[in-house]
Amino acid sequence: MGPTAASVTETSAGLDAQCEAAAELRPDLAIILVGANDVTHRVPATVAVRHLADAVRQLRAAGTRVVVGTCPDLGTIRPIAQPLRWLARRWSRQMAAAQTIAAVEAGAATVSLGDLLGPEFAAAPEEMFSADRFHPSAIGYAAAAAAMLPTLVAAFTDESAPAEPDGGIRSLAQAAAEAADHAGTEVSGARVEGRERGPAGRWAHLRHRVRQLTERPHDPQTAAGVVAGREAGER
């Protein structure tokens, strides 16, 4: 992983200052993982995604490619008791869908984390969570980054490639809704017959790149290898 300007305690409002710090690093690729703190602080999705879209546009204007890991499913966090856990799941999925639309419109690709890492975090909470049992540990963040690895690679290799005729074209709103319900789904902008927009708005390409990790990611290299292996096997 490269240098970071991130803070684990920030809501999306903190992206403004983080982007300013990141600009000094002149990165080729920026990874944004945000949303959980917005949900727990009950920040309206419209407010949170406005900050996210501004951050993406600022980075893209500087020539930086951007991949956004959307809000994870907070319903997988066991210390949150019912019925709050059910509400957390609903709110986090709504946030993830809104983030997808805003980020893709601004020029990023997104990856839905959803409950993708839930089984791994549940199996080894002492390793995957930090001391507060809410935020991931370094290993937990490495696992999240590994889940995004295929999209990070694609950001450098096929960013401008036309969408394949595989049924993966949707309106952005439809793609965002599907991605929120299916963890490991990538959404990026697409063109249909040379046009970015159709009757239902912006076109998007939906790819189910990662379905579920099959091993516990004890360290960043193992986590990256598991996800990269699954991606290679699905092509």
CA angle 132, 138, 144 (to 5 degrees): 100
CA distances from 234 to 90, 152, 228, 230 (A): 30, 17, 10, 6
pLDDT at 141: 78
Collapsing DSSP states into helix, strand and coil, what is residue 170? strand
Q: Can you give the pLDDT at residue 215? A: 42
Rg (CA), the chain: 17
- Phi/psi of residue 163, each to 5°? -70, 140
pLDDT value, residue 66 = 93
Query: Which CATH number belongs to the domain containing residue 192 in this structure?
Result: 3.40.50
Residue 1 resides in a domain: no
Residues ≥6 apart with Cβ < 8 Å to 150 = 186, 209, 210, 227, 228, 231
Domain contains 6: no
Which amino acid is it at 51? H
| Full domain range(s) for residue 149 | 12-234
How many structural domains does the chain have? 1
Position 81 scores a pLDDT of 64
- For residue 7, tell me if it sits in a domain: no
Distance CA 118, CA 232 (A): 23
What's the gap between Cα 29 and its chain centre?
14
Instruction: Give me the pLDDT at residue 160, please.
Output: 44
pLDDT of residue 230: 37
Residue 27 lies in a domain: yes
Half-sphere exposure at residue 141, Cβ-oriented, CA atoms within 13 angstroms: 15
| pLDDT at position 183 | 83
Q: What is the predicted pLDDT for the residue at 110?
A: 95
Residue 60 is predicted with a pLDDT of: 92
Q: What are the pLDDT tens digits along the chain (235 aa)?
A: 455 555 666 789 999 888 888 877 888 999 998 998 898 889 999 999 999 999 999 999 989 999 999 998 877 666 666 777 678 788 989 999 999 999 999 999 999 987 776 667 767 777 777 777 667 778 877 877 787 888 888 887 755 444 444 448 999 999 999 998 888 889 999 999 889 999 989 999 998 865 444 344 444 444 333 333 333 343 3
197 located within any domain: yes
